[in-house]
A and B are shown apart, each in its own frame.
Chain A
């Protein structure tokens, strides 16, 4: 079954209901943030804090926030976490330009009480029931993180960006204050199809689950369709960059088109070179331009002997 067919099994009203309920639960849950300065992770140009705050289910999650010195306002950047147990403080280059957050969602280190995620295993924990799936809470945590970041007094509310996998598009779909999104990898878009076409983790977790519980296939497909950003693309008003693979591969332009064609805001597609630093610098430059900041490239050559500090 193709992704488009599976999407068609989930009425738009169900997607809306799933996400509206998350938003309502968040709205009824005070964030109650606590902020702690961390001198070890602070620099001559920025101060880093650890913030703890509450998400749905009265779950206490956490984040690092780095704030540039000065009055601001500064553009804000949420570095959308991947599927991994560890979240590090924001990158040095980002701390110079943005009020930047790295988020510890429930299950990851720093937010692993009372729920400690297993890697592998967390991805499919409760997946057959969207209301019980751990990712319902995880996605709410992302929205709550964005809210906490955007409410920082030094943030320019007109310049809020996201970078990371396509969870960023889910956040942008639900939070119109996001003005720019750089999507560097797929995670939830057409995930059912992706899992069927690979044995690589973390997608293989879906296959492991379905081998063990074949009777849950329809329920899993239903759950995945609720979190496919394609289902909410029309709500994304932010300017968006999507990193695309070469034609014929997962993540090529045609593969993304079922999502990008629906995005309400302007869309740029970046043709990935797979040279890690080339791609990083290009996406960094795009995002900096969108957020009214400066690119901060990492590529150097032996000829780069200019007056660098």
Chain B
């Protein structure tokens, strides 16, 4: 969990020492690396641990991704199916989660294959901030459930936390589980899990754009990890509405390369699959090419903020560099953080995300001291 205190804690009286003779805890002011003066030396068994693959400079990594010749036609077919599917949005107020500043609604809408998709819609109350509002879609990480974007609404956005198919509340008709989603039908692009999943995220923009209180051409997208990937795919699939996107630690970018660079989940799902079924690698490679954010990137025109950790074991930074190189038709801001992993430097980067979205979406934020809940993948 990441904790973002919005107010200082009340002072705590000095706790009584239960054993006054006990020495105070040792505090390591410098993070320990083994061996460390902070760490008690103990004999360790000699073992040979498998280590990360030999790495070069991430900005010099050569991507192996190729764009299928019918990539655009593939997604045009998806769009045609969506166009023939009524959105049928439903908004149910959720008083328990609402506050004096923000109204919360549970949302459902229809996406590809008739799957009902859930989400949380949070908007400022009129008495708190008068509309209209810029829209902001918050797209979720792989295993996390979409949080309620109340903190963004408090900052003046009509904010929508999307739960694409397979997430809780959107898994009645489709539930591949975790692990599972990444490799569900990964040998067939027409039925691969992310075909519907990407469509669900894009449709969230349609839901926002239909709302009278939302400025339809000032909608942003933001997320990290899988949320970073959905930021990119949605910016590509909804160019008319998406005014900017902030993508942290982008996942689903250079799938096959990434899997070879890591043993961390979710990409490890692909490695596990190929350990059992190595003969399916070509079919896997052919499928994921239709869903690779490197192939969506050139069609993105809205300004994008991308950030990554240089030591991300989950979404290798090499693929983030490849992504930035592939974003050839939009303004790109790229931030990297040494020694950060899948956190992608969010301890520092959240302020940059807030500033980037505010610059492009121009919310009426009543209090400059307001902060968004830290985005995690």
Whether the Cβ atoms of A275 and B340 lie closer than 8 Å is: yes
CB distance from B165 to the nearest CB of A (A): 15
Which residues in A have their C-beta under 8 angstroms from that of B374? 200
A34 CA / B239 CA spacing, docked (Å): 51
Nearest CB of chain A from residue B365's CB, rounded to whole Å:
15
Q: Answer yes or no: B9 CB below 8 A from chain A CBs.
A: yes
Give B residues with C-beta under 8 Å from A: 1-13, 15, 17-19, 22, 25-34, 36, 38-45, 47-58, 95-97, 99, 143-145, 147-148, 150-151, 154, 168, 177-179, 263-265, 268, 272-273, 275-276, 309, 311-313, 337-345, 347-348, 373-374
A-B contact pairs, 9 of them (CB 8 A): A204-B150, A208-B96, A262-B15, A269-B26, A275-B338, A277-B313, A306-B54, A308-B51, A309-B51
Please tell me if the beta carbons of B9 and A187 are within 8 angstroms of each other in the complex.
no
A263 to chain B, nearest CB (A): 9
- Main DSSP-derived SS at the B contact region: loop
Q: Are B15 and A4 in contact, with the CB atoms below 8 A?
A: yes
The reply to whether A277 and B309 form a contact with Cβ atoms under 8 Å apart is yes
Distance between B67 CB and nearest chain A CB, rounded to angstroms: 28
Q: Which residue of B lies closest to A118 (CB)?
A: B168
Q: Does A14 contact B (CB under 8 A)?
A: no
Evaluate whether A187 and B31 lie within 8 angstroms (CB atoms) in the complex, with A2-B12, A285-B39, A290-B42 already known: no
Q: At the interface, yes or no: A9 with Cβ under 8 Å from chain B?
A: no
Interface residues of A in 145-174 (CB under 8 A from B): 165
> What's the Cα separation between A234 and B19 when bound, in Å?
9
Once the chains bind, are B54 and A305 in contact (CB under 8 Å)?
yes
Q: Is the CB of B25 within 8 A of A262?
A: no
Q: Given the complex, which residues of A lie within 8 Å of B154, measured CB to CB?
A: 199
By the criterion CB–CB under 8 Å, are A97 and B49 in contact?
Answer: yes
User: Roughly how many angstroms separate A9 CA and B50 CA in the complex, as a whole number?
Assistant: 51
Closest to A92 in B: B263
Q: Say yes or no: is A261 at the interface (Cβ < 8 Å to chain B).
A: yes
- Contact call A120/B4, Cβ cutoff below 8 A: no
**A249, B30: Cα distance in complex, Å:** 18
Judge whether B3 and A200 touch: CB under 8 Å: yes
Determine if A211 and B99 form an interchain contact, defined as CB atoms under 8 angstroms apart. Answer: yes
Closest 9 CB pairs of A and B: A276-B343, A258-B15, A285-B34, A274-B347, A277-B341, A92-B263, A276-B341, A86-B143, A277-B311
Across-interface contacts of B311 in A (CB, < 8 A): 276-277, 298-300
Instruction: List A contacts of B347 (CB < 8 A).
Output: 274
Known contacts A39-B276, A211-B99, A277-B313, A2 near B11 by CB under 8 Å? yes
* B276 touching A299, Cβ below 8 Å: no
A120 to B151, Cβ gap below 8 A?
A: no
Segment of A21-29, A77-85, A132-140, A218-226 in the binding face: A77-85
Given contacts A193-B12, A208-B97, A286-B32, 17 further A-B contacts (CB under 8 A): A199-B6, A199-B150, A199-B154, A202-B1, A244-B27, A255-B9, A267-B25, A271-B28, A271-B29, A271-B31, A274-B348, A275-B338, A285-B32, A294-B47, A296-B49, A302-B57, A306-B54
Bound Cα distance A282, B311 (Å): 14
In the complex, the answer to whether B45 meets A292 with C-beta atoms within 8 Å is yes
Please state if A294 and B44 are interface contacts (CB–CB under 8 Å).
yes
B7, B18, B32: the one within 8 Å of A233 (CB): B18
Contact at A270–B97, with CB atoms within 8 Å?
A: no
Within 8 A of B (CB), among A267-289: 267-271, 273-282, 285-286, 288-289
- Closest Cβ neighbor of A40 among chain B residues: B272
Does A96 reach chain B (CB closer than 8 Å)?
A: yes
B340/A4 in contact, CB under 8 A: no
Contact assessment for B47 and A212 in the assembled complex, using a CB-CB cutoff below 8 Å: no
Q: Is the CB of A185 within 8 A of B145?
A: no
Q: Give the CA-CA distance A251 to B341 in the complex, in Å.
A: 21
Q: Is the CB of A282 within 8 A of B31?
A: yes
Q: Which B residues are CB-close (under 8 A) to A260?
A: 25
Let me know if A295 is at the binding interface, CB within 8 A.
yes
| A36 interface residue (CB < 8 Å to B) | no
Docked Cα-Cα span, A200 to B150, in Å, equals 9
B47 contacts across to A, CB distance below 8 A: 96-97, 293-294
Q: Which residue of B lies closest to A265 (CB)?
A: B22
Knowing A253-B25, A300-B311, the reply to whether A276 touches B18 (Cβ < 8 A) is no
Partner of B3, one of A186, A290, A294: A186
Interchain CB contact under 8 A, A83 and B44 = no
Please determine whether B44 and A289 come into contact, CB atoms closer than 8 angstroms: yes
Q: Are A262 and B43 in contact, CB atoms less than 8 angstroms apart?
A: no
- A264–B19 Cα distance when bound, in Å, is 8
Q: Which residues of B have CB within 8 Å of A84?
A: 143-145
Taking a contact as CB atoms closer than 8 A, the residue among A269, A278, A302 that contacts B25 in the complex is A269
